[in-house]
Chain A
Amino acid sequence: MTLGQAFDSVINAARAGAEWAWAELYDDLAPLVLGYLRGRGAAEPEDLTGEVFLHMVRDVGSFEGNERDFRAWTLSIAHHRLLDDVRYRKRRPAEPAGDEIAQHTAQGGNVETEALSAMGSGQVMRIIQTLSSDQRDVLLLRMIAGLTIEEIASILEKRVGAVKALQRRGLANLRKRISREGVPL
């Protein structure tokens, strides 16, 4: 789902403080942000998503660009917020992670989510967790957010060649894992 040509008017209305505009932006981008944070194993992906959007509200005045730039910018906020959260939780361990998060997201009370859980969301999470952190970043941003190699390179602050290499190795690992476990349904 994209805003398309309405993006400019929506972002301007949001800057003017229109609540409806913020709701539009949230509905458009929250699934991507939440999906990325869940796939990266964030302990509290919903809470982090809320913080990402609050950050967006604070800094939207400094944003310049089109809708695609705005998406990359929002996911950049999400990535840095996730890193902060990971550092914070390393200092205060004993937090749920991995399968627990997958179970937690699957038990959200949403019928669709419960159905997806039944179709093997736990398996998806297990396969994703076999990748390195950088490979997960690249593939999740590619698969879920649909960002380009260049956009991901900018978010991760890496060279384009490095991101391409991470993508290739990640895909090779996925292929190997899928060939063993089969495609999750």
Chain B
Amino acid sequence: MSDMNAYESDMGWLSKLSDEEIEQALAGDYAGGDASLADLAAFSLAAKTTFAAAPEDATRAAHVNAMAEAAADLDVAPAHASKPAASRPIRRVKLVLTSLFASLIAKVALVGLALAATTGGLAAAGSLPEPAQEALARAAEKVGFELPAAGDAEEGEAGVPEGLPESTEGSSAPSVLDVIRSWADDKGCEFGHAVATAAGGSPGPCQDEQGGNDEGEGRPESAGKGRPEGAGKPEGTPTSKPAGAGEGQGKPEGTPSSKPEGAVKPEGTPGGGNPEADGGAGGTGSGDEDRGGASSGSSSSNGNTDGADKPSSVPGGRP
């Protein structure tokens, strides 16, 4: 009999069997008349008894113990899980940092970030070298930030208040500076007169015996009237070289970094009410006093000394 015939014979045999008979044979309890099916039932029973033997006692005990331990571990697991909760964030942070620094790109980015922060800080402070500071200031200006330029840093050192007018032409600053420089030790009322006069004001008479600040009394008539016409920059700013200050001098005397001894009280002087011309030397420079006071706390310490009259306008007095 060929294989094909055998196959057809087997399939023909199976097709004659009902599902129930097959179930019985597979269960090993066939009681019908088909000899082949009876053989299959006997084989099924033999297979069941051969393979499906119970494990040995030692194996059973080991398996059951392992199951009980596993079940106990599962019960205890939640309690264990809550214990390391405190250390989880640290571990997570470590994991994040480890994975972050494992990347070369991250390292480069970190170095770049540190450089940018350092450079930015220096640029904001105006402490970079001049060309770099200038370039950065220009670049920052284009994107809307204001950084001190290279020249600004020097101006800052010279104590120039921000926002001052550029031009000082026509101001009395040079003459005032000349007076200050040329004055001898005794800077009393006369000194104040001289300064006020140099500034174009008309000082009042000196009052002997008066110890303190005779504010108001020595004021020019036009004191506090604000800026006169033609008032540009306050005197003594670094950008306006005083005529008598010596050419080529980087900073005019009278700037905070080189204040003359016994410098006159700067209150209200800077920037604000330009005292020159028309006697606008309102010593207390009404509207601009706030600005002067705010920009330099040291100005008050340079105030009137020894009961000297308050000069109506103080060139170089740092705001």
Interface residues in chain A, defined as those with a beta carbon under 8 Å from any beta carbon in chain B: 14, 17, 19, 22-23, 26-27, 30-32, 34-36, 38-39, 46, 49-50, 53-54, 56-58, 105, 108-110, 112-113, 116, 119-121, 124-125, 127-128, 139-140, 142-144, 146, 167-168, 171-172, 174-176, 178-179, 183-185
State whether B36 touches A175 (Cβ < 8 A): yes
B46 neighbours in A (Cβ, 8 Å): 119-121, 124, 183-185
State whether A57 touches B63 (Cβ < 8 A): no
- Kindly state whether residue B266 has any CB partner on chain A within 8 Å: no
B62 neighbours in A (Cβ, 8 Å): 50
B50 neighbours in A (Cβ, 8 Å): 38, 105, 116, 121, 124-125
B26 neighbours in A (Cβ, 8 Å): 139, 142-143
B22 neighbours in A (Cβ, 8 Å): 167, 171
Closest-CB distance, B227 to chain A (whole angstroms): 87
9 residue pairs A–B, Cβ–Cβ below 8 Å? A31-B55, A35-B52, A58-B70, A108-B56, A110-B53, A112-B53, A167-B22, A171-B40, A176-B10
Name B36-88 residues within 8 Å CB distance of A. 36, 39-40, 42-44, 46-56, 59-60, 62-64, 66-68, 70-72, 74-75
Q: How many A-B residue pairs have CB under 8 A?
A: 142
**A26-B63, A143-B28 given; A110·B56 CB < 8 A:** yes
Closest-CB distance, B119 to chain A (whole angstroms): 57
Q: How far is the CA of A81 from the CA of B124 in the complex (A)?
A: 68
Q: Which residue of chain B has the shortest Cβ distance to A185 in the bound complex?
A: B46
Q: Which residue of chain B has the shortest Cβ distance to A182 in the bound complex?
A: B39
State whether B53 touches A128 (Cβ < 8 A): no
Count how many chain B residues have C-beta atoms less than 8 Å from C-beta atoms of the other chain: 41
- Kindly state whether residue B101 has any CB partner on chain A within 8 Å: no
B66 neighbours in A (Cβ, 8 Å): 50, 53-54
Interface residues in chain B, defined as those with a beta carbon under 8 Å from any beta carbon in chain A: 6-7, 10-11, 13-14, 22, 25-28, 36, 39-40, 42-44, 46-56, 59-60, 62-64, 66-68, 70-72, 74-75
Closest-CB distance, A127 to chain B (whole angstroms): 7
B27 neighbours in A (Cβ, 8 Å): 143, 146
Contact of A38 among B14, B36, B51, B71 (CB under 8 A): B51
* Chain B binding surface, main DSSP class: helix
State whether A168 touches B51 (Cβ < 8 A): no
Q: How far is the CA of A95 from the CA of B64 in the complex (A)?
A: 27
State whether B51 touches A144 (Cβ < 8 A): yes
Q: How far is the CA of A89 from the CA of B48 in the complex (A)?
A: 26
Closest-CB distance, B1 to chain A (whole angstroms): 11
Closest-CB distance, B57 to chain A (whole angstroms): 9
State whether B70 touches A19 (Cβ < 8 A): no
A183 neighbours in B (Cβ, 8 Å): 39, 42-43, 46
State whether B51 touches A26 (Cβ < 8 A): no
**A54-B70, A143-B28 given; A174·B51 CB < 8 A:** no
